[in-house]
Amino acid sequence: MRTAAEPIRELRLEGITKRFPGILACNNISMQVSRGEVLALVGENGAGKSTLMNILAGLYQPDSGTITLNGREVRFHTPNDAYAHGIGMVHQNFMLVPNMTVTENVALGLKEHHRFMNLDLKSAKARIMEVSEHHQLPVNPDAHIWQLSVGEQQRVELIKTLCFGAQLLILDEPTSALTPQETDDLIDRLKRMTGELSIIFISHKLNEVKSLSDRVAILRHGAVVFNGQTADHTSADLAALMTGREIHLPRNEGLSLDGGVVLQARDLHVRGDRGHLALDGLDLELHAGEILGLAGVSGNGQRELAEALTGLRRVESGRVEFLDADMTNRSPASMIAAGLGYIPEDRHHEGIVPKFSVKENLVLKDFHTVKFSWWVVLKQSEIAHNAEALKASFDIRCSSTSAAGGSLSGGNIQKVILARELAREPKALVAVYPTRGVDMGAQEFIHSQLLARRRAGGGVLLISEELEEIMNLSDRIAVIYKGRILKVLNSLDATRERLGLLMAGVADE
Amino acid sequence: MTSKFKIAYGAGVILLAALAAAVLGALVLKAIGASPLDTYVTIFTGPFKDVFGITEILVRAVPLILVGLGIAIAFRSGIINIGAEGQMLIGILAATATALALPGLPRYLLLTLVVLAGAIGGGLWAGIAGILRARLGVNEILSTVMLNYIAAQFYTFFLRGPMIDPGELETGSGTPQSMRLPESAILSHLIPGTRLHTGLILALVLCVCVYFFLWHTTFGFRLRAAGAEAKAARYAGIHVPGSLVMAMVLSGCFAGIAGAVEVTGVHHRAIENITSGYGFAGIVVALFGALHPAGIVPAAVFFGLLLVGSDMTQRSAGVPANMILVLQGVIILCIVSAKMYLNNAYTQERAARFFARFTAKAAPESTKDGGQS
Residues of B in contact with A78 (CB under 8 A): 353
Give A468 or B348, the one with higher predicted confidence.
A468
User: Quick one: pLDDT at residue A256?
Assistant: 64
Give A253 or B135, the one with higher predicted confidence.
B135
Give the mean model confidence (pLDDT) for residues A46-55: 84
3-state helix, strand, coil in chain A (%, to 5): 35, 30, 35
User: Quick one: pLDDT at residue B3?
Assistant: 58
Provide the number of CB pairs (under 8 Å) joining chain A to chain B.
99
Does residue A131 lie within any of the structural domains?
yes
User: Quick one: pLDDT at residue B371?
Assistant: 36
Give A433 or A245, the one with higher predicted confidence.
A433
What confidence category does residue B369 fall into, taking pLDDT thresholds of 50, 70 and 90? very low
Same domain, A153 and A267: no
B254 Cα to chain A: minimum distance (Å)? 21
Give the mean model confidence (pLDDT) for residues A379-401: 92
- Of B324, B271, B299, B267, which Cα lies nearest the Cα of B61? B299
Kind and range of the H or E run holding A168: strand A168-172
Same domain, A368 and A219: no
On the question of pLDDT at A451 being above 80, the answer is: yes
Does residue A52 lie within any of the structural domains?
yes
What confidence category does residue A509 fall into, taking pLDDT thresholds of 50, 70 and 90? low
Kind and range of the H or E run holding A16: strand A10-20
Distance between CA atoms of A452 and A446, rounded to whole angstroms?
Answer: 10
Name the residue among B221, B235, B356 with its Cβ closest to that of A61.
B356
What is the tally of structural domains in chain A? 3
A100 Cα to chain B: minimum distance (Å)? 24
Same domain, A440 and A365: no
On the question of pLDDT at A166 being above 50, the answer is: yes
Same domain, A173 and A288: no
On the question of pLDDT at A5 being above 70, the answer is: no
B235·A312 Cβ contact <8 A: yes
Same domain, A37 and A146: yes
- Of A301, A295, A243, which Cα lies nearest the Cα of A277? A301
Residue A30 sits in a domain of what CATH number? Answer: 3.40.50.300
CB atoms < 10 A from the CB of A313, how many? 21
On the question of pLDDT at B75 being above 50, the answer is: yes
What confidence category does residue A419 fall into, taking pLDDT thresholds of 50, 70 and 90? very high
Give A431 or B20, the one with higher predicted confidence.
A431
User: Quick one: pLDDT at residue A253?
Assistant: 74
* Global pTM value: 0.81
User: Quick one: pLDDT at residue A22?
Assistant: 64
Residue-wise pLDDT for A189-227, tens only, equals 888 888 888 899 888 778 888 888 889 998 888 888 888
Same domain, A415 and A437: no
Q: Is it true that domain B52-319 has CATH number 1.10.150?
A: no
Measure Cα distances from B243 to B86, B87, B302, B346 in Å: 22, 19, 32, 33
User: Quick one: pLDDT at residue A115?
Assistant: 67
Does residue A154 lie within any of the structural domains?
yes
Same domain, A179 and A316: no
- Of A141, A89, A83, which Cα lies nearest the Cα of A112? A83
User: Quick one: pLDDT at residue B28?
Assistant: 86
User: Quick one: pLDDT at residue A363?
Assistant: 95
What confidence category does residue B346 fall into, taking pLDDT thresholds of 50, 70 and 90? low
User: Quick one: pLDDT at residue A79?
Assistant: 82
Domain boundary residue, one of A380, A397, A425: A425
User: Quick one: pLDDT at residue B368?
Assistant: 37
**Chain-centre distance for alpha carbon A252:** 23
A76 Cα to chain B: minimum distance (Å)? 11
Residues of A in contact with B234 (CB under 8 A): 312, 332
Residues in CB range of A183: below 8 A, 6 or more apart: A175, A208
Q: What is the DSSP string of A169-216?
A: EEEESTTTTS-HHHHHHHHHHHHHHTTT-EEEEE-S-HHHHHHH-SEE
Same domain, A49 and A141: yes
Residues in CB range of B95: below 8 A, 6 or more apart: B114, B115, B117, B118, B121, B256, B259, B260, B263, B264
What confidence category does residue A292 fall into, taking pLDDT thresholds of 50, 70 and 90? very high
Q: Where are the domains of chain B?
A: 1-32+321-352, 52-319
Give the mean model confidence (pLDDT) for residues A452-476: 91
**What angle do helix axes A180-193 and A150-163 make, rounded to 10 degrees?**
20
Question: What residue numbers bound the domain in which A323 lies?
Answer: 259-339+428-509
Give A363 or B172, the one with higher predicted confidence.
A363
Distance between CA atoms of B105 and A313, rounded to whole angstroms?
Answer: 54
User: Quick one: pLDDT at residue B140?
Assistant: 93
Residue-wise pLDDT for B255-270, tens only, equals 999 999 999 999 999 9
Residues of A in contact with B217 (CB under 8 A): 373, 376-378
User: Which residues between 249 and 308 in chain A have a beta carbon less than 8 angstroms from any beta carbon of chain B?
Assistant: none
Give the mean model confidence (pLDDT) for residues B62-71: 97
Give the mean model confidence (pLDDT) for residues A52-66: 87
Domain boundary residue, one of A217, A243, A269: A243
Q: What percent of chain A has pLDDT over 70?
A: 95
Instruction: Give the count of alpha carbons within 13 A of A121, CB side only.
Output: 10
Domain boundary residue, one of A212, A243, A274: A243
Does residue A484 lie within any of the structural domains?
yes
Give the mean model confidence (pLDDT) for residues A49-71: 87
Name the residue among B234, B360, B371 with its Cβ closest to that of A332.
B234
What confidence category does residue A3 fall into, taking pLDDT thresholds of 50, 70 and 90? very low
Q: Does any CB of chain B come closer than 8 Å to the CB of residue A119?
A: no
Residue-wise pLDDT for A349-360, tens only, equals 899 999 999 999
On the question of pLDDT at B343 being above 70, the answer is: no
For chain B, the average pLDDT equals 87
Does residue A475 lie within any of the structural domains?
yes
Same domain, A169 and A181: yes
For chain A, the average pLDDT equals 86
Residues of A in contact with B6 (CB under 8 A): 21
Residue-wise pLDDT for B77-98, tens only, equals 999 999 999 999 999 999 999 9
Distance between CA atoms of B199 and B264, rounded to whole angstroms?
Answer: 9
